[in-house]
Amino acid sequence: MKHTIVRKKVAIITLLLGLFASNTVYAQSTPKFAVIPLTLSENVSLPLGNEIVLDVKVYDPDLVSTVLGQWRGIEVAGHHNGILRLSISENVMAVVDAQSPHSQYLANTFVIDYEEASVKAVTDAFLSDYGKGVKAEDEGKGASVQETKVESYSAEVGAEIEAFVANYITEPSYIHSFSFASTVAKSKSGDCTEYAVLAAALARALAIPARVVIGTIIVDDGSTVEAIGHAWNEFWLDGRWWSIDAAMYGAESLNTFYLPSHILSNEGPGYALSLSKAVLNSPESITVVQKR
């Protein structure tokens, strides 16, 4: 009971912090509070190419430059008067912890609470639908899913988790602030943050290191483009981090560019502090100055 009360208080504190993140299932309309002002320079037309050059207005350019340095596929050219000039490709890949993912990304936590009964039920459902290949190697040895070595998983498992979570959440909604994985497992509802925490919980339940990344997604459908506050995942598979985005599942035909602001590092009762860092690092406005 006490644990539940603490969670409710924390959820109330983070209500406003969570509003910047939106559901980006593209069939849904985009809430105005989640949109980041984006303009195109006169020489830039749609559709955008595979790489774009941006001027991004941020609160602390030096801090944001350091954050972006954790990803390959983003190059910061410099900054002036609070405007970062950077190039970004469609295939952004994390390089931080590239040799050995930290054990925290396997932990059962306050936010990614995969040991709760509701998440265990989701894990069982996933294994029933997709898990024959996941379990096959270890069943003959009598090993549990949690005992499976990380190296035994291929990137295909990440794609299966992405598809499963995309279909599991049947009620996309913007009314949530920042729900825990067990809450999402029961409600089957939420925006991009809920997709991300549930996907992370499912991955960790299968002994796959997983983390939640918060930032901005630029979505180009060929005739319109917008920048939206967003959350997605990175899974450690095949010896590197792979981007996983269940909220954008089925939108592969769109041009999408991911601009990270923060890896959710605090998953305990003080996770609001981690969210506040993401908000602080988020763009105030974006201008596309060149496409390549």
Q: 196-200, 220-224, 284-288: lowest mean pLDDT where?
A: 220-224
In Å, how far are 46, 101, 122, 148, 207 from 145, measured between CA atoms? 46, 19, 14, 5, 7
What is the model's pLDDT at position 33? 52
Burial class (CB in 10 A: 0-12, 13-18, 19+), 30: middle
Name which of 75, 89, 203, 88 is nearest 145 in CA terms: 203
pLDDT tens digits along 162-217: 999 999 999 876 655 688 999 999 999 988 999 999 999 999 999 999 999 999 99
Q: Where are the domains of the chain?
A: 2-35+101-281
In Å, how far are 86, 89, 90, 226, 268 from 291, measured between CA atoms? 12, 10, 12, 15, 41
pLDDT tens digits along 127-165: 988 865 565 444 443 344 444 444 457 788 999 999 999
pLDDT tens digits along 102-119: 889 999 999 999 999 999
- pTM here? 0.84
Class for domain 2-35+101-281, per CATH? alpha beta
Tally of residues, the chain: 292
